[in-house]
């Protein structure tokens, strides 16, 4: 080595570089670092040398000293007068690997969009790079597209890989007919993109290309079954995982048991067993916390001294998000609220999540005030509460105390912005959702529902309808009929409106108008033909497999609601006879008839002063006060 150095130092440097590369590829990172230190590079490859030294050091440390590697990269960028966050500074193909490594770290830190920006730009410069580096860049591109929920771009990336690296048939298929690892990996990305796009028929046919023993095939296939609505089949496919040997968490950066339990929870949620789903999610969270617990020695690394691919391995927030949804559907709004407020800290641009928070508040309010039984959805427990609060006095002076009408919810002194499942918080949450959603057809920036799969514009529209109806309801409860009327009117003009929501829109508008002393207009909203259809989803929209019990669930029930409310409007307008005529045809014992009918009957008789009839009604419905 040294004999050649006085003649031609350029050559020996080159030999050293080759040797360093081979030591690195053999895994002898210490040797590699030593050789690189001997190199006296000139200015033109200063950057590359420093870069390779940093990489070799990082590997020498077992991929655990991520923070020092990041610092080293930053120093290199500064020396080269480049700025990784300003993509226009990437001009020279020489710096591609430097930017790639920066993107890899971002990916492992779960900053998918930033990583995607960098790696998309790099992928335009890959012609001169060697195959190994080019492939790495392309795989990272595909992965970042999927993690950032941009499946169409991921498919483009896969096509690009196919065009560039599968030029001969033996690139795709080995001599024995099985697919090469390149082809298999491409298929896996293609399948994952297909799942995000809901192209279920493509997924079902392509998934057979993967081996039966492949763990990711079990996950992908069960996902496909789950999305197709075949829950039982999904469970049995997923259970194939139980028989396989699972790689340890630190080796791959993902914990299979966590994913397994989480997926079982999703399936059971779709099978209408939200309590079972909640149970599995608790298991999943426990597994996740145990696996991702930081090790005792962190060696001063701010990421915990774990291998770089395990830094972002905790799925805590996604699990907590799922748990919130499961608990909400199980009728446990307070638990759901706690989970979802944790999730919203990370996913605060998800309007659907804000809506779910508001729904938790609404359900909690109904359970508290109206005594809806826990375990049932709001609205079903139009509970038959007793007519009488009690009786006072005895003998001639005995008085019966009827149950009073509740007044509008009073706001507590606690600030509404502190997360509590109150209607005031619901109002804020719904306003956030409205702001993020914007108007129909404005579609400038697409709406994301992270961490879930992307939504189509139609799904965004149905979300708008739900937000408006919840908002109108909350405003009515908080005693604000002006805003309630505005929201109800807006709701009635929306596209893709479910029949049940049309009914609600008219009811809320009628109540708001009544409170604003415009009873004539209120009557216009209470037409009987609204009760013809009470389905919860619009005609062209796929219904959720998750069933809900909602009242009214039949056209008869809807007609009874409308008739009762018409009687209320007539009463307030002073047309007591008309009101009484409407009430007479409604039998309070029938399940579709709202129990408030009896209260209104009592009221009408009290107005007329017919105390005998009042007493007889009371005795009929509360026999203990005979």
CA distance 308 to 252: 10
Pick the closer one to other proteins by CB: 206 or 254: 254
Element (H, E) at 471: helix 457-477
Any idea what DSSP says for residue 448? -
- Report if residue 192 touches other proteins, rule: CB under 8 A: yes
Among 182, 346, 402, 556, binds other proteins (CB under 8 A): 402
Residue 564 binds other proteins, judged by CB under 8 A = yes
Among 27, 81, 86, 127, interactor with other proteins by CB under 8 A: 127
CB 475 within 8 A of CB 554: no
91 near other proteins, rule: CB under 8 A: yes
Among 278, 313, 421, 499, binds other proteins (CB under 8 A): 313
Closest CA to 17 of 51, 68, 58: 51
Question: Which of residues 1, 163, 296, 394 is near other proteins by CB under 8 A?
Answer: 394
Q: How many whole angstroms separate alpha carbon 472 and alpha carbon 623?
A: 38
Q: From CA 433, how far away is CA 451, in angstroms rounded?
A: 16
Contact pick of 292, 571, 598, 621 for other proteins (by CB under 8 A): 571
Which residues are CB-contacts of 340 (< 8 A; sequence separation ≥ 6)? Answer: 320, 321, 324, 325, 328, 353, 356, 357, 360
Q: Are 187 and 209 spatial neighbours (Cβ–Cβ below 8 Å)?
A: yes
Name the segment binding other proteins (CB under 8 A); options: 74-82, 218-226, 415-423, 437-445. 218-226
Q: Which of residues 276-305 bind other proteins (CB under 8 A)?
A: none
424-443: which residues touch other proteins (CB under 8 A)? Answer: none
> CA 343 to CA 146: how far, in whole Å?
21
Tell me how far, at minimum, the Cβ of 550 lies from other proteins, in Å: 4
**Shortest distance (Å) from residue 510 CB to other proteins:** 8
Strand-pairing partners, residue 391, are: 400
CB of 533 to other proteins, least distance (A): 14
User: How many binding residues for other proteins (CB under 8 A)?
Assistant: 172
**In the bound complex, what is the minimum distance in angstroms from residue 454's beta carbon to other proteins?**
10
Of 437, 551, 582, 621, the residue at the interface with other proteins (CB under 8 A) is 551
The Cα–Cα gap between 227 and 270 comes to 9
What's the closest the beta carbon of residue 442 comes to other proteins, in angstroms?
21
Answer for which of 457, 607, 610, 616 binds other proteins (CB under 8 A) is 607
Full 3-state SS string of 286-345 = HHHHHHCCCCCCCCCCCCCCCCHHHCCCCCHHHHHHHHHHHHHHCCCHHHHHHHHHHHHC
193 makes contact with other proteins (CB under 8 A)? no
> Please, are residues 172 and 202 in contact by the beta-carbon 8 Å criterion?
no
- Among 157, 378, 434, 496, contact with other proteins (rule: CB under 8 A): 378
From the list 28, 31, 59, 276, which residue makes contact with other proteins (rule: CB under 8 A)?
A: 59
398 binds other proteins (CB under 8 A): yes
- Map tokens 């590369």 to a residue: 21
Interaction between residue 602 and other proteins (CB under 8 A): yes
Binding positions for other proteins, 469-498, rule CB under 8 A: 469-470, 473, 476-477, 498
Binding mask 321-340 for other proteins (x = CB under 8 A): xx--xx-xx-----------
Minimum distance of other proteins from residue 155's CB (angstroms)? 16
- What HEC string does 184-197 produce? HHHHHHHHHHHHHC
- Host H or E run for residue 113: helix 112-122
Contacting residue, 183, 362, 437, 586, with other proteins by CB under 8 A: 362
Q: Which stretch binds other proteins (CB under 8 A): 170-178, 419-427, 438-446, 547-555?
A: 547-555
């Amino acid at each position: 080595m040294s004999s050649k150095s006085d003649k031609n130092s350029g050559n020996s440097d080159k030999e050293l570089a080759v040797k360093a590369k081979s030591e690195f590829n053999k895994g002898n990172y210490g040797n590699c670092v030593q050789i690189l230190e001997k190199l006296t590079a000139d200015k033109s490859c200063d950057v590359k040398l420093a870069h390779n030294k940093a990489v070799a050091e990082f590997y020498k440390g077992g991929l655990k000293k991520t923070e020092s590697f990041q610092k080293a990269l930053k120093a290199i960028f500064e020396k080269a007068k480049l700025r990784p966050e300003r993509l226009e500074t990437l001009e020279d193909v020489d710096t591609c690997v430097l930017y790639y490594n920066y993107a890899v770290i971002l990916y492992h830190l779960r900053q998918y969009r930033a990583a995607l920006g960098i790696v998309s730009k790099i992928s335009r410069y890959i012609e001169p790079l060697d195959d190994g580096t080019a492939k790495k860049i392309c795989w990272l591109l595909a992965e970042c597209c999927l993690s950032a929920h941009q499946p169409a771009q991921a498919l483009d990336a896969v096509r690009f890989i196919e065009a560039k690296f599968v030029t001969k048939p033996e690139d795709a298929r080995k001599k024995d007919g099985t697919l090469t690892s390149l082809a298999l990996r491409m298929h896996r990305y293609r399948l994952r993109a297909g799942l995000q796009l809901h192209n279920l028929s493509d997924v079902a046919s392509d998934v057979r290309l993967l081996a039966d023993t492949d763990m990711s095939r079990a996950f992908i296939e069960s996902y496909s079954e789950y999305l197709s609505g075949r829950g039982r089949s999904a469970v049995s496919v997923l259970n194939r995982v139980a028989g396989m040997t699972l790689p340890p968490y630190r080796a791959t950066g993902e914990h299979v048991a966590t994913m397994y339990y989480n997926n079982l929870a999703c399936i059971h949620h779709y099978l209408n067993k939200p309590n079972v789903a909640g149970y599995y999610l608790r298991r999943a969270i426990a597994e996740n916390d145990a696996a991702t617990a930081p090790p005792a020695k962190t060696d001063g690394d701010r990421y915990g001294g774990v291998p770089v691919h395990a830094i972002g391995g905790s799925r805590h927030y996604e699990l907590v998000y799922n748990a919130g949804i499961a608990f909400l559907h199980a009728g446990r709004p307070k638990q759901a609220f706690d989970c979802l407020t944790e999730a919203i800290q990370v996913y605060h641009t998800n309007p659907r999540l804000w809506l779910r928070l508001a729904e938790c508040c609404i359900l909690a309010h109904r359970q508290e005030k109206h005594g809806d039984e826990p375990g049932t959805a709001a609205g079903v427990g139009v509970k038959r509460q007793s007519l009488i609060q009690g009786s006072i006095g005895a003998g001639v002076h005995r008085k019966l105390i009827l149950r009073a009408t509740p007044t509008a919810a009073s706001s507590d002194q606690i600030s509404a912005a502190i997360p509590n499942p109150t209607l005031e918080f619901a109002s804020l949450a719904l306003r956030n959702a409205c702001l993020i959603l914007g108007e129909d057809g404005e579609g400038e920036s697409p709406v994301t529902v992270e961490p879930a799969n992307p939504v189509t514009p139609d799904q965004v529209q149905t979300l708008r309808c739900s937000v408006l109806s919840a908002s109108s309801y909350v405003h009515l409860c908080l005693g604000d009929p002006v805003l309630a009327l505005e929201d109800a009117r807006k709701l009635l003009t929306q596209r893709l409106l479910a029949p049940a929501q049309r009914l609600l829109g008219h009811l809320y508008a009628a109540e708001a108008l009544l409170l604003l002393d415009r009873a004539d207009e209120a009557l216009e909203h209470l037409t009987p033909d609204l009760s013809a259809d009470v389905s919860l989803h619009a005609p062209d929209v796929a219904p959720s497999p998750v069933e809900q019990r909602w009242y009214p669930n039949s056209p008869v029930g809807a007609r009874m609601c409308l008739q009762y409310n018409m009687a209320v409007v007539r009463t307030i307008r002073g047309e007591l006879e008309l009101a009484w005529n409407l009430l007479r045809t409604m039998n309070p014992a029938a399940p579709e008839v709202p129990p408030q009918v009896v209260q209104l009957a009592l009221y009408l008789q009290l107005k007329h002063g017919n105390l005998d009839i009042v007493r007889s009604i009371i005795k009929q419905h509360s026999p203990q006060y005979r």
